Structures are given as structure tokens and as C-alpha cells.
Amino acid sequence: MPRFSDKFRYWALVLPALAIMIVFYIWPLLGIWVISLNEPVVGLGNYAKMADSNAVKTSFVITFRVAFVTTIGCLILGYIVAYAISNFAGRVKPLMIALVLLPFWVSVLIRSFSWIVLLGRSGIVNDALRGAGIIDSPLRLMHNEFGVVLAMIHVMLPFAVLPMMANMRGISSSYVDAARGLGASEWTAFRKVYFPQTMPGVMSGALLVFVLSLGFYVTPALLGGGRVLMISEYITYQIQEFLNWGLGSALSVTLLVATALVIAVAARFVNLRSALLERG
């Protein structure tokens, strides 16, 4: 067997994936940057138009707001789930982890349609509430931001649970035991000893959910009723309805830059290397 240098082996292993990324991802992505600058005319026209448009500004605000609320929701619910699995699950732990992962096996589209069945005006939730005599007329549970956020939290939850669980797995119970032994109440021991140790997990979950939510398309398009126009839907609209590739590309680039900025800002507060690369 011929002997190759370590460097050669490293590149031989990395190269196929890298080549695919460059040809099918980086290259078209650069194409988007180019289109945003030279269609229909060369210059910054698309960006100027974008900055002028109230609709674009609102859409960006909606996008960041929905992503933020979704992140908060996922963190609260996800923390509880991760905490329960890590500390109290015992023998049912594999089952609970499987339940967290299960939604991954169902497409986002189908999950979003399920929410339509649940939240519709004559959907299961409204029918049940009406049948029980709790409400007289149906509640508006979807075709608004509430419905979108609810369904997005559902879709994003595993992305919050998994990093937090991985983090909690590495926390030794002896610290909390020691705090309790020294007279701290259960709550104080959690708040001052356990919770700070879970922060890296919380942050990486937050970052993951937030960044993924920014580019979300299917759920807002289906459950938003046209009133919750997130930026990715707006991009589709520009390109499909108006064949306006220039503006659509400019919007994409702006979303990409905004996302990068979020990560850059987050990097000042979180150790990204430990948050994203070294789980558990």
C-alpha cells in the first residue's frame, strides 16, 4: 500500500464535498450577488429601491420579529424538555429522545398542513371549544402571526432541544448536590449553579433556531394568510410574479448579510466554537 502524506489524505477526504459545495452552492451564490448588482441595469439601483420600499422594511421587521418570538418560545419549551430528559427521564429516556426526533421524519409541508387542520375556522380546536360551549364564534388562530409562530415553534423545537440536551448531559450532578449540601434551596441551586452551566447549550440552540427561522418559507406562506409576509416569501414573489431577479437577488443578499451580522454579534457574547462545534 502506497503511503500518502497526512495532508494529501486530508484533502482527498474533504475535496469531493468541497467541490460539490463550490460548484452547486458557492458559485450560484456569487451569481446571485452579481445579478443583484447588474439587473436590470448595472449599479446599486436594486439596493436603493429596496431601502426606499416600506413593504421591504416591514417585511424585514416581520421576519426578525417572528424569528425572535419563535426563538424565545423554543428556548422556554425546549429547556423544559431537555431538562426533564436529562435529569428525570430514567428508563424512558430513549423513548423521549425519539419523540423529540420524530417530527424530523415528517416534512415541514405536511406539518404545516396539519396545523391548518387544527387551527382553521372550522378546525379541530375551534370545533372542540365550540362544542364544549367555551366560545360562541370561532377564534382566529391562523392567517395571522400567532398561527405562524405557533407552527414555527413546533417545527423548530428539536433544533433547540438537541443542543441543550447535549450540553446538559455533560453537566455533573455533583455541583448541584454540593450546593444543596451547603444549604441552598432547590431553586437557588438551579438558578445559581445549574442554569449558568447550561448557557452554552441555550445559546447554541438560540442561534440555530433564530438563523433557521430567518429564512423560513413554507410555514409562513401557508399559515400567514398573506399578512405575515416574511422576506423569503417576498423574494419568491418578486421573482415569480414580476421576473424581477435583480430585486429578488438584492433581497437575498441582504438577508444573508443580516444573518451573518446576527452571527457576528452573537459571537461577541457566545463562544461559537464551543456552542456549535463542541456539543457535549
Partner 1 sequence: MTDTTDHEAKLDLVEIAAYRYREGRLTRRGFISAMAALGVLPALGSKALAGANELVVVNWGGRPTEVLQEVLGDTYTAATGVKVIVDGSGPSGGKIRAMVESGAVVWDLCDSGMGTAIILEQQGITQPIDYNIVDRNKVIEGTAYSNGVGNYVYSYVLATNSKMLGGNVPKTWADVWNTKDFPGMRTFRKSVRGMLESAVMAQGVPTKDVYEVLGTQDGINGAIDMFRKLRENIIVWGSGSDSQNLFLQEEVAMGNIWHTRAFLLKDQIEGGTFDISFDGGVIAPGVWVVPKNNPAGTEEVMKFIAHGQDPALQVKWLELIGSGPINPAAAALVPPELAAWNPSSPENLATQILYNDEWYAKNQQAAEELYIDALIN
Question: What is the nearest approach in angstroms of partner 1 to the Cβ of residue 8?
Answer: 50
Q: Could you say which of 85, 162, 179, 228 contacts partner 1 (CB under 8 A)?
A: 228
**For 132, which DSSP code?**
T
Binding partner 1 by CB under 8 A: which of 120, 212, 258, 259? Answer: 120
Among residues 198 and 238, whose Cβ is nearest to partner 1? 238
Contact 70, 213 (CB under 8 A): yes
Please say which residue, 127 or 278, places its beta carbon nearer to partner 1: 127
Q: Which of 1, 28, 54, 182 binds partner 1 (CB under 8 A)?
A: 54
Q: Are 246 and 256 in contact (CB under 8 A)?
A: no
In whole angstroms, what is the distance from residue 252 CA to residue 258 CA? 10
Does 143 bind partner 1 (CB under 8 A)? Our answer is yes
| Stretch binding partner 1 (CB under 8 A), from 88-96, 167-175, 208-216, 233-241 | 233-241
Q: Which stretch binds partner 1 (CB under 8 A): 55-63, 73-81, 157-165, 253-261?
A: 55-63
Q: Minimum Å distance from CB 47 to partner 1?
A: 15
Q: Which of 20, 227, 261, 278 forms a contact with partner 1 (CB under 8 A)?
A: 227
Q: How far apart are CA 280 and CA 209, in angstroms?
A: 18
Per CB under 8 A, the list member of 3, 6, 241, 269 interacting with partner 1 is 241
Grid cell locating 183:
444549604
Q: Does 114 bind partner 1 (CB under 8 A)?
A: no
Q: In 3-state terms, what secondary structure has residue 1?
A: coil
Radius of gyration of the chain measured on its C-alpha atoms = 23
Tell the smallest beta-carbon distance from residue 229 to partner 1 (Å): 5
Query: Burial letters for 102-128: b for 16+ Cβ neighbours within 10 Å, e otherwise?
Result: eeeeeebeebbeebeebbbeebebbee
Min dist CB 53 to partner 1, Å, is 6
Which segment (7-15, 47-55, 211-219, 257-265) binds partner 1 by CB under 8 A? 47-55
Q: Residue count of the chain, please give it.
A: 280
**How many residues make contact with partner 1 (CB under 8 A)?**
22
Q: Does 48 bind partner 1 (CB under 8 A)?
A: no
**Measured from the CB of residue 261, what is the shortest distance to partner 1 in angstroms?**
23
DSSP strands (E only) in 56-128: none
Find the angle CA(254)-CA(67)-CA(30) to the nearest 5 degrees: 25
Rounded CA separation 226/6 (Å): 55
Q: Which residue's CB is nearer to partner 1, number 122 or number 172?
A: 122
Closer by beta carbon to partner 1, 86 or else 249: 249
Query: Which residue, among 124, 117, 199, 111, has the nearest Cα to 156 in the 3D structure?
Result: 111
